[in-house]
């Protein structure tokens, strides 16, 4: 699972080099709106490029189905190909995903720069039956929060 998220971040980091260059401290934008529009447009292009290479197996259990950028939020849809959503302990799975995403994204300089600029990461996991298992969202507040691992914001399926 950690390998799956790491691979996604590597792919994302390759695509954001121009974005990071534009987000320097000197400010290359005339307004916050212009900066936000640039970020949203760049995320959309990156998501389209990544999605064009999917579906893609991330490991033996996880398939990346597509990436979708909406404004300054980038959504990753993942499917656990060997289990139904009802066979997964959503709470435990949630903790594992949250810990991995938080550790990788919040501590990585490139992704942290985007998070600090207002980019949100959303990971949505589905079972092989097509039903959602969990949704984990990561934003600036959660990266800055000391209690984020104990209280992740998620949506879980009901059995």
The C-alpha atoms of residue 109 and residue 111 are separated, in whole angstroms, by 6
Q: What is the pLDDT of residue 158?
A: 44
Q: What is the pLDDT of residue 7?
A: 53
Domains in the chain, CATH or no CATH each: 2-156 (3.30.300.250)
Q: What is the pLDDT of residue 152?
A: 40
Q: Kindly compute the dihedral angle of the four CA atoms of residues 83, 52, 103, 145, in this order, to the nearest 10 degrees.
A: -100
The C-alpha atoms of residue 47 and residue 138 are separated, in whole angstroms, by 17
Q: What is the pLDDT of residue 132?
A: 94
Task: Give the model confidence (pLDDT) of 17-34 as tens digits.
Answer: 445 555 554 456 778 888
Q: What is the pLDDT of residue 33?
A: 86
**Tokens encoding 139:** 């934003």
Question: What 3-state DSSP class applies to 13?
Answer: helix
**Tokens encoding 124:** 């949505």
The C-alpha atoms of residue 58 and residue 77 are separated, in whole angstroms, by 12
Residues of the chain with confidence (pLDDT) below 70 = 1-28, 144-159
CB 138 within 8 A of CB 121: yes
- Which residues are CB-contacts of 19 (< 8 A; sequence separation ≥ 6)? 38, 39, 42, 43, 114
DSSP H or E run through 108: none
The C-alpha atoms of residue 77 and residue 110 are separated, in whole angstroms, by 22
- Which residues are CB-contacts of 25 (< 8 A; sequence separation ≥ 6)? none
DSSP H or E run through 69: strand 62-70
**What is this structure's pTM?**
0.74
């Amino acid at each position: 699972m950690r390998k799956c998220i790491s691979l996604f971040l590597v792919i994302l980091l390759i695509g954001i080099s121009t974005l990071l260059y534009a987000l320097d401290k000197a400010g290359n934008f005339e307004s916050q709106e212009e900066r936000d529009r640039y970020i949203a447009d760049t995320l959309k292009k990156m998501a389209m490029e990544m999605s064009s290479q999917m579906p893609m197996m991330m490991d033996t259990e996880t398939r990346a189905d597509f990436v979708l950028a909406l404004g300054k939020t980038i959504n990753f849809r993942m499917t656990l190909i060997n289990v139904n959503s009802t066979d997964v302990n959503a709470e435990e799975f949630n903790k594992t995903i949250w810990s991995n995403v938080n550790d990788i994204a919040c501590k990585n300089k490139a992704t942290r720069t985007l998070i600090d600029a207002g980019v949100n990461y959303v990971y949505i996991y589905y079972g092989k039956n097509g039903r959602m298992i969990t949704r984990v969202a990561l934003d600036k507040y959660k990266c800055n929060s000391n209690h984020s691992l104990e209280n992740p914001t998620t949506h879980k399926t009901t059995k």
